[in-house]
């Protein structure tokens, strides 16, 4: 018997076909639900080898409890090595600077941005040897800075903003521990460096010339973004949301007791308490609500493309292209698709 659409009748074959189709849809929906609630056997969290407030959750198993699975903590010294770890699938999450993240995205590394939980204010500083009293004094001098870092981006920005002669400033690409050694040997005259490393230099007679927050009036922002491997986010969205919410919970702990959290982290990282306290105080910690607002990521129809941090990603890409770190043709036409707004919304509203 064949289908007679006009009379609204279905043949036996049609009924079977529709039944099989419905079954396939049901199975697909079931797989989708199972994927959303699936948990990985292990979650690997990368973290900077310098104290950060959210890492307080490492000391008491907060992330293990929240994600309901085994957690492996993988240290890295700066954003460049973090990109390598993400590319090798050796970490699933990390929080590090916007400049190396832009480099990774331009090189087509499959990662997604999960907001900006740390905005750099005074935690990154330009410190100079005694005798250098102004930014103009940097001309003719040697400045150490971690390559492809937020500090390198900020250094180039301050040179441009203050109309310094870039050709007269020698930039030495050194990681931060090597910078300390170079400072002590007298091989450098200044450095743009992260905390708590600058504490040792200030104690050695160094002079602070600038902090990154002072660049914001000129439209220059540096911050640390949360990043996830795209494959992990697709397979385990619930785990991503749990991780994001746990990160925010650790920042809440810090806001409630900055001295206590600083003491625990100082002991854990083997760093002086005062340096850790001042470093953590040098970051701003916007909530999910703040991050999705117009001041940062500008969630909403048409709002994202004009958001300050989307624009700042473009500025960082231009800087990296200018310095030869990335190819100009590799820069994405827009960084909006790189931000997982959907998971940020879910984390905020859950």
| Residues 199-232 pLDDT 10s | 999 999 999 999 999 998 988 889 999 999 999 9
Q: Is the pLDDT of residue 18 over 90?
A: no
Backbone region of residue 116 per phi and psi (left: phi > 0; alpha: psi in -120 to 50; beta: other values): beta
Confidence at residue 195, expressed as pLDDT on a 0 to 100 scale = 86
Burial of 327 (0-12, 13-18, 19+ CB in 10 A): exposed
Round the average pLDDT of the chain to a whole number and report it.
89
Strands 170-173 and 142-145: parallel
Q: Select from 3.40.190.10, 3.30.70.260, 3.40.640.10, 3.40.1380.20 the CATH code of 124-218.
A: 3.40.190.10
Confidence at residue 27, expressed as pLDDT on a 0 to 100 scale = 42
Is there a shared CATH topology between the 42-120+222-349 domain and the 124-218 domain? yes
82 within 8 A of 310, measured Cβ to Cβ: no
Its CATH class, for the domain covering 42-120+222-349, is alpha beta
The shares of helix, strand and coil residues in the chain, as percent rounded to the nearest 5, are 55, 15, 30
Q: What is the mean pLDDT of residues 231-236?
A: 98
Domain boundaries, the chain: 42-120+222-349, 124-218
Query: Which of 321, 316, 245, 328 shows the shortest CA–CA distance to 102?
Result: 316
Buried b (16+ CB within 10 A) or exposed e, 256-288: eeeeebbebbbeebebeeebbbbbbbbbbbbeb
Confidence at residue 248, expressed as pLDDT on a 0 to 100 scale = 97
Q: Is the pLDDT of residue 19 over 60?
A: no
């Amino acid at each position: 018997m064949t289908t007679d659409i006009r009379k609204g009748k279905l043949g036996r074959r049609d009924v079977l076909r529709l039944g099989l189709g419905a079954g396939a849809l049901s199975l697909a929906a079931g797989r989708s639900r199972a994927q959303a609630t699936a948990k990985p056997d292990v979650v690997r969290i990368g973290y900077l080898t310098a104290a950060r407030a959210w890492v307080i959750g490492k000391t008491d198993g907060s992330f293990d409890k929240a994600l309901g699975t085994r957690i492996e903590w993988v240290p890295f010294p700066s954003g460049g090595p973090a990109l390598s770890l993400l590319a090798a699938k050796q970490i699933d999450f990390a929080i590090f600077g916007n400049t190396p993240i832009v480099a990774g995205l331009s090189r087509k590394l499959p990662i997604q941005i999960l907001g900006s939980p740390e905005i750099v204010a005074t935690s990154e500083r330009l410190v100079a040897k005694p005798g250098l009293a102004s930014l103009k004094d940097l001309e003719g001098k040697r400045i150490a800075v971690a390559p492809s870092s937020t500090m390198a981006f900020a250094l180039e920005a301050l040179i441009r903003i203050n109309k310094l002669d870039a050709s007269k400033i020698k930039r030495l690409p050194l990681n931060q521990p090597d910078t300390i050694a170079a400072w002590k040997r007298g091989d450098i005259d200044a450095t743009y460096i992260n905390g708590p490393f600058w504490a040792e230099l200030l104690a050695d007679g160094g002079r602070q010339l600038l902090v990154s927050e002072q660049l914001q009036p000129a439209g220059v922002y540096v911050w640390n973004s949360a990043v996830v491997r795209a494959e992990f986010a697709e397979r385990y969205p619930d785990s991503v949301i749990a991780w994001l919410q746990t990160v925010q919970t650790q920042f809440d702990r810090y806001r409630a007791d900055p001295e206590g959290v600083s003491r625990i982290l100082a002991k854990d990282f083997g760093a002086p308490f005062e340096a850790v306290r001042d470093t953590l105080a040098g970051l701003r910690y916007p909530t999910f609500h703040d991050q999705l607002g117009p001041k940062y990521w500008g969630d909403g129809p048409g709002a994202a493309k004009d958001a300050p941090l989307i624009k700042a990603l473009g500025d960082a890409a231009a800087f990296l292209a200018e310095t030869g770190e990335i190819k100009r043709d590799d820069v994405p036409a827009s960084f909006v698709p790189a931000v997982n707004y959907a998971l940020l919304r879910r984390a905020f509203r859950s």
